[in-house]
Structure 1
Amino acid sequence: MKQALSVSNKEIVSLVENGGVLSPKGYKAGAVHAGLRYNRLDIGVLISETPASCAAVYTTSHFQAAPLKVTQESIANEGKIQAVIVNSACANACTGEQGLKDAYKMRTLTSEKFNVSEDYIAVASTGVIGEYLPMDKIESGINSLEPGKGGENAEDFQKAILTTDTVMKSSCYQAEIGGKSVHVGGAAKGSGMIHPNMATMLGFLTTDAAISPEHLSAALKEVTDITFNQITVDGDTSTNDMVIVMANGQAGNKPLTPDHSDWPVFVKLLKENCESLAKQIARDGEGATKLIEVAVKGAVSNDEARTIAKQIVGSNLVKTAVYGADANWGRIIGAVGQANASVNPETVDIELGPIVMLKGSNPVAFSEEEAKAYLEKDTIHIMVDLNMGDGSGTAWGCDLSYDYVKINASYRT
């Protein structure tokens, strides 16, 4: 497995323009406004034409929401899922036995509406913690769902899962595997309360590849570690974080395994899609004006490089400096210094975009005007070279603005 991502020719995987969660064969989606929110779509469904191999990763919060427990039970049955039902506005988290009953009821209602076995249905919720679902509206909404295969159906699903997001998040990539065209598509939501230790807020991935649940799970976990787990907005982990992927096999390829010659291609296909969604989430951080990408190299291991990268991008002092276009590299070195990783304080290099700021841990003269102009761009690249080994890693985040406080000070109103 670990050699899978060594595939370097990016052209083997291509972006599908305007693609998304319905681009792979054999899926449909839809959404309705059930009244959970004032005037926005708030219940969505994603369905495979046939039961699909399934894998998921979940929040590591001690307070996993009720829908996650129901989804875990469904997937554990056969490792297959055919439909995902999701609502926004209410997280159904910290709601006790009633919340669990409501999550099961969502599964039952979806089963009855679409004639799909309850064991093949996953449930997801997002929104305010500690409030009960208005089940009369949930039931009416689910019974009103009429999914389809068009682009408008995909967009409706994407809209229905949003909370404080300002934009929809979707992507799709394609590659040839075993002589067949295989697609991985996805939709995600996430803007605040983002500091995953598994995945992200909510992510829904589809593929028409043929692959067993066991191997799909292995691929997802490997990819998650270097994509969704490498983003942070505010350092807080949600109770409802989940990424779920379905693989229905309709591309017609021979089942993929780690021994398949095209296994690295599939893992890269999955990785490109997850990285795209992760970066879209980071860019849309609550109140954010800029995407920050931190690349660390020269670490003693890839794991330590990723740890340092995420420490930097998660630093409030780094985030506010970027927001204010202040080229204060001391904020960066401060974040490196407190990371739980090996660092030689005499060998660190730092670059802000094309501007060298630190070389061998010694300051380098630079133009403040040039640095300020760079920091006023909407994507900021920070590079740190520890000069200790071959480890490398990347993390993504956003700046911290006044609007973040405004948004979260009035989240429930």
Structure 2
Amino acid sequence: MFRLGRRALAAAAACVIAAGAANAQVKELRIGYQPSPIQDASIAMFETWGAKKGIKIVKVPNSYGVYVEKMTASLTSNSDQYDVIWHNDDWGQLWAHLLEPTDDIDALKYAEKWGMDKVVFGNAQGQNTVVPMGQTFSVFFYRSDLVKPEEVPKTLAELVETSKKLQAANKVKFGYVGGMAMNHSWFSWFWSMWGNNCDVLAPPYERDNAKLAANGWKSMLAEPCMKETVEYWWDAINTHKISPRGMPAYDRNEANAIFMGGDAAFTVADSLWWGTFNDPAKSKMAGKIGAARFPLGPNRKEPFAWDDIWGWAIPKSISPERKALTKEMLAAMMVDKEGQMKMFKATGAPPPNTEFWPDIAAADPFMKLLKEAVLDSPNKVRGAYYFPNWPAVHKAFNDTVTKAVTGKREDIAKVLVDGAPLVSKAAQ
């Protein structure tokens, strides 16, 4: 018995030594991400932490167009290619079972509860699987050198009227420009749809999967509000000509480039582009940009906002030692006030630690607007749905509205009716 006891103690000691040695051997952490202002600013905080700890931060950029497919393949193959990956509410439920729970990171107590809802990022055991890098939502940007704050369109009809006046005066080539292509639906389709009391699935704004299932995953493509939305954009492109003819194929980068080049008066983009829009090295419109609430359609009177987070996640398949080190790095990022202040200054994205928000708002009018219009708003919309099939639903939706807006106006209703069951089928 004495010998067994000694053997057990020796084995335990060996495990401790082995774990310590393994931890000591972790000299780098690999970050899978999509280059963007907010991700670059967040990774800069990782690099600050890494420099202090003697850990090399290896950045592995991925294209946005293939990001979900590539990361899904890496996660499902139990690869240890990445220690941290960019995580988004769009694919929160798609990956939840493949990610390390993060509830044991104490610094998450500073995160906004709306963005950290476990309906969005929780696994089957109710554990969270994300650490926020910052709040992401869009706002209505406008050329402040052309439009006074009190002149900013408050309705979709006013957006047409104001755009045409500016075009007639040769102030701009286009009134409105925004992304419309798949994975860029938010910047034209979604905000205008939500602003008209419409949504992808019925009832509008509902994100409880049990209620959506009980309603048969009913698509709203065939509803009058969706027909109004598609007709609005068809007219904006073809009749009023306030938007580019090629806009149905635009991604956010193409739309942002037109806006920053001064060829459009209005756009919708993530608030984190505030810094880029006002960067003289990147934008001809630097210092001439304002932001406001979204114009509303005829079916809605109350202002609305959507609010989600971008975050970081840890693949379940990496070693315990690397998981522990990664959590230490993410916890340090959550309390890095200097780094988060730099993030806001560079991007306009509210940082992940909510305790820093009042200080930023007191010194920055843009953050004050974001708090009033979005962060503190009682009328919030979640920017996606939270079931594994959401990417397929999104594609079925975007394929249908793209077909409708690029065809004949008189065919819009039929295209939407034909596409509605495809959305419902994708959800099921």
Q: Which has the larger radius of gyration?
A: 2
TM-score normalised to the size of structure 1?
0.23
Q: Which structure has more helix as a fraction of its residues?
A: 2
Structure with larger RCO (C-alpha < 8 A, sep 6+): 2
TM-score normalised to the size of structure 2?
0.23
